[in-house]
Structure 1
Amino acid sequence: MSYLSPYLEALGSDFSNGANFAIAGAATMPRDRPFALHVQVQQFLHFKQRSLDLASRGESMPVDAHGFRDALYLIDIGQNDLSAAFSSRVPYDDVISQRIPAILSEIKDAIMTLYYNGAKNFWVHGTGPLGCLPQKLAEPRTDDSDLDYNGCLKTLNSASYEFNNQLCSICDKLRTQLKGATIVYTDLLAIKYDLIANHTGYGFEEPLLACCGYGGPPYNYSFNVSCLGPGYRACEDGSKFVNWDGVHYTDAANAVVAAKILSSEFSTPKLPFGYFCNT
């Protein structure tokens, strides 16, 4: 299966396998900001209505009413919200008690909006280990007391864990509330932290050093020189690095993550991905 075409790509789009409404840097809040989750959902609803209107006129469309009903709706968002909160120096307790519930409220609202507009199959991702990103590790600190055994920031990963714990609970409740819906939650923190902690077993040499960036070890990340910016440096073999640019993972690391996701080992319930091809 090919990559999904971006919804906003005007030329050459092919929606026969689905559509991608994700935008780089998108978050859940503020909800009226361009390309926030709420806006993405509204774009989907417009896309669906437009497709069905054209189909009703006899035009051939890649997705019909049955396609929208039986499609798998993948939701993966929230890490940018968490990252922004900590970068803005929001106190940890406030992130846990206020920000995370607000973020998850937006995700829950998105799922329910899609459901009441005909969606029934959902695959929801938790967030990854924020405290293992070179971008976060490169921020100045007075000492290393907050680093865990694998060199990640314990406080940020604790927030990621709490985010996922609450998101999993929301998914559990929605399964009982939304009749006929199938909602799979996947723990990306467990998948990605295992990759970092046991990186050599997966063939990686650098778990916390960005392949593309500036500054060299230990993180090769600079807040003044971004990847592909003036003066940046890229590694020779990205397949040996877990992290690409301080925030995103390399293709090699993402391949491992994708395989773990598709295995359903880290999912609740543990439905095989192929289940959604037969519903």
Structure 2
Amino acid sequence: MAFAHATTAAALFIILLASSSSAAPPADPLFRCYDSIVNFGDSLSDTGNDLVPGLHTGECLAGNPPNGQAYFHHPTGRFSDGRIIIDFIAQSLGLPLLKPYFPEGNAEAAQRCREFSTGVNFAVSGASALSYDFYVSIGYANPYTTISLGTQVEWFRGFLAGFPDGGRKYAERSLVVVGSVGGNDYNHLLLHGWTLEQMQLLVPKVTSYIASVVQELIELGAVTFLVPGNVPFGCFPDYLTIFEQSSTSNDYDPQIGCLSWLNELSGLHNDLLQKELQKVRELNPHANIMYADFYNAAMGMYRSPKQFGFGNQILRSCCGIGGRYNYNESARCGTPEATCCDVPSEYISWDGIHFTEAANRLISKALLQGRYTDPPFSTICLNSTSNPRGAIADN
């Protein structure tokens, strides 16, 4: 990205941080279980770190219109026309939207603790689960960011150090969301030419690392987790476009039109992640570890789009340009060439890679009120021993 663009992004980041990320919680939240939310992840849950110069390489597309048009009415660093899943989770818990956190861009420790008393978001667009150095060692460097899940955990350690008790009460009273993360470990390598067989060999390493991070966070005092699996990437317009020329009819789901082999890769990740999380549960019976089934929560929309209010363009992106799936890597949403559909709420995909606000709302509802977390979110929430709100700010 050009230096002038980076400078603009920095200024925009500061403005948006003050104006939109701290939006007030709803007057009548669905649940009141936790004092705060701690989030780690990639662009599916990034609420503004994408706009910080140095964290992300390339154009800051999430800082350009029409991103943010549906809810915030201007770009906020979210890859969507409005709110994303972590926003809906926060509002359902009666908490403000999570502010993005970047250590070098925040105030001294005591002020930081107050500023992020109800939630903190470490997610960075393009982040992988495994470290940047690992991918360099195997001959591939992440082209979007050097930030990984491990980097975000180190930021969290530094953040907790600002509390008098080392942040254990903050961690204990928070809902800790670890992901969605891991998708970029596969996404970037697929685009780099890795085969499906090579990807399958990587999955155990990715899922075991995510589980090890949950264990690390437990040791820091966290007790309640929401750990999402991967989404059905085979239904995303970017991959449908990229593999369109090299695919045969046998590669597609005959009912929906998604790439079956790519969805099977997501399924393998999700199966192994659940097994790894069960190991962590057995080691920590006091912890509440919920697996969030992003995959099937999303697949319900693809299988029955009319039931959920979507139109007949479920595999096309709302914002983009050209081709069967309205996606072009060289003219993505946020570039001058891209155009936006008239009614984003009729689309599942916003920009070919991320969901519309309408889809994010339905996925979050399926998680919080439906059967797509294991154990059910409502059960864990009702049994929560979280202390009354306001105690965090007094620490």
TM-score, L = length of structure 2: 0.64
Q: Deviations over 1:92-114 (max 9, x none)?
A: 12211x21112112212211111
**Aligned residue in 2 for 1:37:** 149
Aligned counterpart in structure 2 of residue 88 of structure 1, from 175, 192, 202: 192
**Selected match of 1:196 from 273, 298, 302:** 302
What residue in structure 2 maps to residue 5 of structure 1? 99
Given candidates 29, 52, 67, the residue that maps to 2:170 is: 67
1:132-175 per-residue CA deviation (whole Å, 9 max, x = no partner) reads 00000001324332110201000000000010000011111111
Matched residue SS, 2:162: helix
Pair 1:49 & 2:161 matched: yes
Distance apart, 1:277 and its partner CA? 5.1
**What residue in structure 1 maps to residue 337 of structure 2?**
231
C-alpha deviation, 1:50, in angstroms = 1.8
| 1:211–1:244 contact (8 Å) kept in structure 2 | yes
Structure 2 CA distance for partners of 1:198 and 1:4, relative to 1, 3 Å = same
Contact residue 146 and residue 154 of structure 1 kept, 8 A = yes
Unaligned runs of 5+ in 2: 1-94, 134-144, 387-395
- C-alpha contact 1:121 1:276 (8 A) present in aligned 2: no
Which residue of structure 1 lines up, in the alignment, with residue 382 of structure 2?
275
Q: Deviations over 1:12-49 (max 9, x none)?
A: 98412110110111111235573200000000010001
Alpha carbons of 1:264 and 1:49: their partners in 2 closer, same or farther (altered >3 Å)? farther
Residue matched to 2:268: 162
Q: Report the secondary structure of 1:90's partner residue.
A: coil
Partner of residue 114 from structure 1, selected from 217, 220, 223: 217
Partner of 1:260: 366
Match of 2:281 among 175, 188, 191: 175
RMSD: 2.0
Query: 1:214 — aligned with what?
Result: 321
Q: How many corresponding residue pairs?
A: 268
Alpha-carbon offset, residue 5 of structure 1: 1.0
Query: 2:278 is matched by which residue type in structure 1?
Result: D
How far apart, in 1, do the equivalents of 2:271 and 2:147 lie?
Answer: 26
Q: Is residue 243 of structure 1 aligned with residue 313 of structure 2?
A: no
Equivalent-residue separation in structure 2 for 1:142 and 1:258 (angstroms): 32
Structure 1 runs of 4+ aligned residues shifted over 6 Å read none
- Counterpart of 1:152 in structure 2 is 258
String of CA shifts for 1:31-85, please: whole Å, max 9, x gaps.
Answer: 55732000000000100012337x9xxxxxxxx6422222111011111112122
User: Quick one: structure 1 residues 174 and 144, their matched pair in 2 at CA, closer, same or farther if it must change by over 3 Å?
Assistant: same
- Name the amino acid aligned to 1:210: S
Counterpart code for 1:44: F
Q: Scaled by the length of structure 1, what TM-score is found? A: 0.89
Mark the CA change 1:133 to 1:142 in structure 2 (over 3 Å): closer, same or farther: closer
